[in-house]
Amino acid sequence: MCVNRTFLAFSAAVISRTRVSRAVRYTSSIFSAVILLYTIMGDNCNHSSFTLERILNITCLCKGCFEKFSFEALQESAQYLLDRTSIRPRIGIICGSGLGPITETLTQKQCFPYEEIPHFPTSTVKGHAGQMVFGYLQGVPVMCMQGRFHYYEGYPLWKCSMPVRVMKLVGASHLIVTNAAGGLNDKFSVGDIMLMKDHVNMMGFAGNNPLQGPNDDRFGPRFPPMNRAYDKQLLTICDKVVEEMGIQNIVHKGVYTCLGGPNYETVAEMKLLKVLGVDAVGMSTVHEVITARHCDMKVVAFSLITNMCVADYEDHTEADHEDVVIIAKRMEGLLKEFVSRVVDHIKETLEDVAK
């Protein structure tokens, strides 16, 4: 039977491309691909365009969902950057949707497009420039992700958050994470800032975690705790900055959750999240924070509330990504100053930099 011959060729091809000891790891990938093959082939087993090369391509796609970059591969990414700049960052900053202009405050900037960095994916979302920017902010060497990677772009969570590990290998000990989010708390308004005091890992509830798979102790422990994911000292610094800037009326503390996207949520989903104590909803950050804490980085994160979540069936407002970019642009100056002041205060805790 033609399908049986195809399956045997497919299996042999997979085993020949991987060590036998690893073949078992890809069993689920193989069977997923076989189902896909049945779908593609239908009853026409002799379709001329259906070649072994196409089978191998499908195999690689499935395998890529499970096989993480090794410690050595991420060292290559880090070394590529270190070889091309004399800046040795102490703080990493992830710029969310529309928040890329934060990098305009840097001096002695050097930019590295993601497509030029070994092993890096590329960002496909409007408002994400897609480059790593090195420079100095308030005299502190920093590196900024001007654009991040999302699960809905087709990347597994470990790949979405792998740049955090590169930041760690480059030398960053602190991470500032920003995002654009929908406000679920009735006390929030569009344009407000929510300092993240905690998160609910909804994707983790579904068994999707950036730390899945074999653990490399060189990155961190097998079972990292998350009860102190957001550093209290850094949150205290943020409180000081809020007071200095006189923006207490637009800054809140709250709980964030990340959903898979790319669609915005239903009313029923929002009602559920509200019951769970969630204050803001987005499509990023949580897996980046988990990865950062796994490798012992100190983390602070905040959301710019760019729209209010619809949790009422009588409310016919619809979320729009264009509005997200517009609100981020409107708050650009304030956010630049906020991040700059936070970094300036962190500098006082970095003895080698403070001197």
Q: How far apart are CA 146 and CA 89, in angstroms?
A: 15
The per-residue pLDDT for 127 is 64
What's the mean pLDDT in 67-78? 91
Q: How far apart are CA 163 and CA 151, in angstroms?
A: 14
Residue 296 domain-assigned? yes
Band (320; pLDDT cuts 50, 70, 90): confident
pLDDT at 24 over 70: no
The per-residue pLDDT for 308 is 95
- pTM across the whole model: 0.82
Mean pLDDT of the chain: 86
Residue 108 domain-assigned? yes
Q: Among 104-118, 247-261, 320-334, 335-349, which stretch is predicted with the lowest mean pLDDT?
A: 320-334
The per-residue pLDDT for 165 is 98
Q: Which residue do the tokens 């800054």 mark?
A: 251
Band (128; pLDDT cuts 50, 70, 90): low
Q: How far apart are CA 330 and CA 155, in angstroms?
A: 30
Which residue segment(s) compose the domain that 249 sits in? 90-353
User: Higher confidence at residue 61 or residue 249?
Assistant: 249
Q: What is the pLDDT of residues 192-229, one digit of tens each?
A: 999 999 999 999 999 999 999 999 999 999 999 999 99
- CATH number, domain of 323, equals 3.40.50.1580
- Say what percent of the chain tops pLDDT 90: 71
Residue 169 CA, distance from chain mean position: 17
Band (58; pLDDT cuts 50, 70, 90): very low
What's the mean pLDDT in 115-142? 90
User: Six-digit token pair at 101?
Assistant: 């202009």
The per-residue pLDDT for 36 is 47
* Domain count within the chain: 1
Residue 8 domain-assigned? no
The per-residue pLDDT for 4 is 52
Residues belonging to the active site = 97, 128, 150, 152-153, 180, 283-284, 307, 321
DSSP helix/strand/coil, 198: strand
Write the single-letter amino acid at 336.
Answer: K
The CA-CA-CA angle for residues 92, 70, 258, to 5°, reads 50
Closest Cα partner for 79 from 174, 169, 168?
Answer: 169
pLDDT at 190 over 60: yes
Residue 27 domain-assigned? no
Rounded to whole angstroms, what are the CA distances from 335 to 56, 156, 247, 343? 47, 30, 11, 12
pLDDT at 22 over 80: no
User: Higher confidence at residue 44 or residue 346?
Assistant: 346
Residue 56 domain-assigned? no
Residue 15 domain-assigned? no
Q: Is the alpha carbon torsion for 209, 323, 312, 197 positive or negative?
A: positive
The per-residue pLDDT for 354 is 56
Band (50; pLDDT cuts 50, 70, 90): very low
The per-residue pLDDT for 42 is 53
pLDDT at 264 over 50: yes
Residue 36 domain-assigned? no
Residue 81 domain-assigned? no
